Amino acid sequence: MKNILTILLLLIAPQSHATDLRIVDGDTLVLNGTTYRINGIDAPESGQKCKSERGKDWACGDAATNLLYELTLNRKVTCNKLALDPYNRIVARCFADGTDVARNMVANGRAWAFLKFSDEYEADEKRAKKAGLGIWRGPSQPAWDYRAKRWDTAAQTAPKGCPIKGNITANGRIYHAPWSPWYKRTRINTAKGERWFCNEAEAVNAGWRAPHRR
C-alpha cells in the first residue's frame, strides 16, 4: 500500500523539466551549459535605455531580459543549432514548449528583427512598430549601434585597445563587455589573474563567461 501511495504521489506531483537554463540577456541563453545566440533578432543590451513616447528613458534592456525569462519559465526549452557567429557562439532557433521565442520577442517590441542576417521576423517587427510596442514607443538606438558606440569609447582607454574585462568573482570567471551594466564599476587586478580581452571569443576560449541576468 505504501508503494502504491508513493507512485500515486509521484504521478500527481508537479513535473519539472530536467533542464539547466540561464538567461544572459534578451537574445542569449545558456541551456545545459551551452550558450545560444537566438537567431534573427537583436535585443536591447542589459542596462540599455530606450525612449518612451514622451521622450523619457525606460529600461528596455531589462524588459527584454525579463520577457525572455518569462517566455521560458517552467517550459521545455529546445534550441536547434544553425551556425556559429563571429564570436564562436552557437546561433540557434529556440523554442519554449514549441513556441518560437524569437518571434515573441519581436512581436512584443522587445527586440529588433536582425535584418542584416535574417528577414524571418520582418513582418512581426512591422506590426510591433505600427502598434508602438516596446522599443517602438519612441526613437531608440538599435542594439548594434549601442554596442558599437560603447565599444569605441571603451577601446580608446583600454590596454592595447582590448576593452573586455575578465573579472574573477565568487561566482566564477566572468567577462564584461563595454555595454555590460557592471562594466564601469568592474576593476581589473592582473595580480589576481584578471585580464583584458580583445573580443568575446577570446574570453570564452580562456574560460570566462558572460554574466547571467536571470
SS3 4: helix
Do 149 and 72 reside in the same domain of the chain? Answer: no
pLDDT at 125: 98
pLDDT at 178: 95
Is residue 154 included in any domain, yes or no? yes
Range of the domain at 177: 144-205
CATH code of 126's domain: 2.40.50.90
From CA 199, how far away is CA 162, in angstroms rounded? 7
Do 107 and 153 reside in the same domain of the chain? Answer: no
| Domain endpoint, select from 123, 141, 159 | 141
Position 22, amino acid: R
pTM for the full model?
A: 0.85
For residue 9, give every residue at least 6 positions away whose Cβ sits within 8 Å of its Cβ, in sequence order, or none: none
pLDDT at 9: 33
pLDDT at 1: 43
pLDDT per residue, tens digit, the chain (214 aa), is 434 333 333 333 333 344 799 999 999 999 999 999 999 999 999 889 999 988 899 999 999 999 999 999 999 999 999 999 877 789 999 999 999 999 999 999 999 999 999 999 999 999 999 999 999 999 999 999 999 999 999 999 999 999 999 999 998 999 999 999 899 999 999 999 999 999 998 998 999 998 887 7
C-alpha cell at 35: 550558450
pLDDT at 18: 43
What is the number of domains present in the chain? 2
Do 104 and 192 reside in the same domain of the chain? Answer: no
CB-based contact 96:38 (threshold 8 Å): no
Is residue 152 included in any domain, yes or no? yes
pLDDT at 54: 86
For residue 137, give every residue at least 6 positions away whose Cβ sits within 8 Å of its Cβ, in sequence order, or none: 50, 51, 52, 53, 58, 109
pLDDT at 165: 97
